[in-house]
Structure 1
């Protein structure tokens, strides 16, 4: 057993502040996964597989109606490039909010802060989302579709921006739900509207110019077009990369400021 101890534990029996924090974070992540997924690999697998189920449902609908992909020759690739960034953003932004509601009693322990609950859930969602991405890529390969983007850098930055936006909106949601617990339901309904207007199942650029102008204010739409532009460079869309990044960072800063006010008020 002694060989498994750190130097600090062997010498003084105490962990450093960083080690203690990492232990707390690790415990929160394990608790999060066990309580949410039933403590089984099957439960976790269902969540990882959900993006594939989502894509297969859309493919089935298009196949039943004999509809071609709006762009390119592959219906699965068209849906995957739109769905992956939007679902990553929505899952992170929603689950971060749910984490603080479900695990709020843990903050009564002096070692656990509200920010720890947020960070633990963010890390769990990043890992889950990446595993889901691997499954989607595997399904595309199995169906004979080449999942490699034309522009690798553009695809990676689109994926990372989805995570960043999800964290920013998620922190804002945590701040809002601290005052209005009913926002959990309200955001679920709002998410449906954002999803329908994100261009996952159609190309918003085909809409009339005046309508498309207002659709562009939806950051989820910008994410789907960002990812698709990495696969279809001739798609003819103009992605406002700065808008997405600033939207995410502004949301994050705004949410953290409100959370700081909430924490200081409760203490």
Structure 2
């Protein structure tokens, strides 16, 4: 086989450089295919959560005089909706990444791990930008004395991202190995929007249900997010150790299954 000068140069690069170049190229491809084909591009990614928060705020302002924290409905729902959407969207994109990019794995420089990581990085970056834009826009509408700790906000988003990576990596294998699982997963996770603390606080839940809802990692994420915004809210139920342990356990399991079965699943 005749090798071109470009192939020779690529092969001569250290593995870490080849991996970084492959991930960067995959991120650019993902940006083009996800946002480049529709008018407005990235604006739609921002418009969706803005519209959702505005609709929730309007609907609940008709039924309640004030949210559970503070005096701003949009800010209260944003602190629950934004980390939830980071998890939901990122986990879904990671789970379908290998299936979406199967043809690229015919190139020796692209691996399934590159594909998962590229989709993960782009999705997290997009949602972090959206969260910053929305929170900065909403802060002037609320009492600034509620603003507490930006590090807690970063920690909450990091927990949501890590959980999304763990769930998405495991589902990346399960969606390929058992195609019916994708539909089952969609049905099973629909209630998460209701039971993840977007509309209410952990302390608002009746005592007989708190112990059960505590095992939902997303309830910890939304609690940490609100503790980072509202100085008056402690979020005593939040356990970063539980969220990280759950996320890492799912991630390790998913990576082990993918490393063992990816070749056969991708080419079947």
Give matches, 1:43-192, under 5 Å. 43-141=41-139, 143=141, 146=144, 149-192=147-190
Cα 1:148–1:210, aligned 2, differ >3 Å: closer, same or farther?
closer
Cα 1:147–1:131, aligned 2, differ >3 Å: closer, same or farther?
farther
Q: Does 1:16 align with 2:13?
A: yes
Can you list the C-alpha shifts for 1:101-149, whole angstroms capped at 9, x where unaligned? 2112221222211111101101111211122112212331464564973
Partner residue of 1:198? 196
Cα 1:20–1:89, aligned 2, differ >3 Å: closer, same or farther?
same
Distance 1:122 1:150 in 2: 28
Structure 2, unaligned stretches of length 5 or more? none
Q: Does 1:248 align with 2:247?
A: yes
Secondary structure at the aligned position of 1:42 is classed as: coil
Q: Does 1:212 align with 2:210?
A: yes
TM-superposed CA distance for 1:169, in Å, is: 0.9
Cα 1:191–1:256, aligned 2, differ >3 Å: closer, same or farther?
same
- TM-score if structure 1 supplies the norm length? 0.87
Partner residue of 1:6? none
Distance 1:251 1:16 in 2: 33
TM-superposed CA distance for 1:155, in Å, is: 2.0
Distance 1:58 1:235 in 2: 22
Can you list the C-alpha shifts for 1:229-263, whole angstroms capped at 9, x where unaligned? 22334435321221111011111111111111213
- TM-score if structure 2 supplies the norm length? 0.86
Cα 1:129–1:148, aligned 2, differ >3 Å: closer, same or farther?
farther
Distance 1:58 1:110 in 2: 47
2:82–2:131 CA contact under 8 A, matched in 1: yes
Distance 1:102 1:127 in 2: 20
Secondary structure at the aligned position of 1:235 is classed as: coil
TM-superposed CA distance for 1:165, in Å, is: 0.9
1:89–1:163 CA contact under 8 A, matched in 2: yes
Aligned pair count reads 258
Cα 1:227–1:138, aligned 2, differ >3 Å: closer, same or farther?
closer
Cα 1:147–1:44, aligned 2, differ >3 Å: closer, same or farther?
farther
2:72–2:141 CA contact under 8 A, matched in 1: no
Can you list the C-alpha shifts for 1:147-196, whole angstroms capped at 9, x where unaligned? 97312322221111111111111101111112112333333333321121
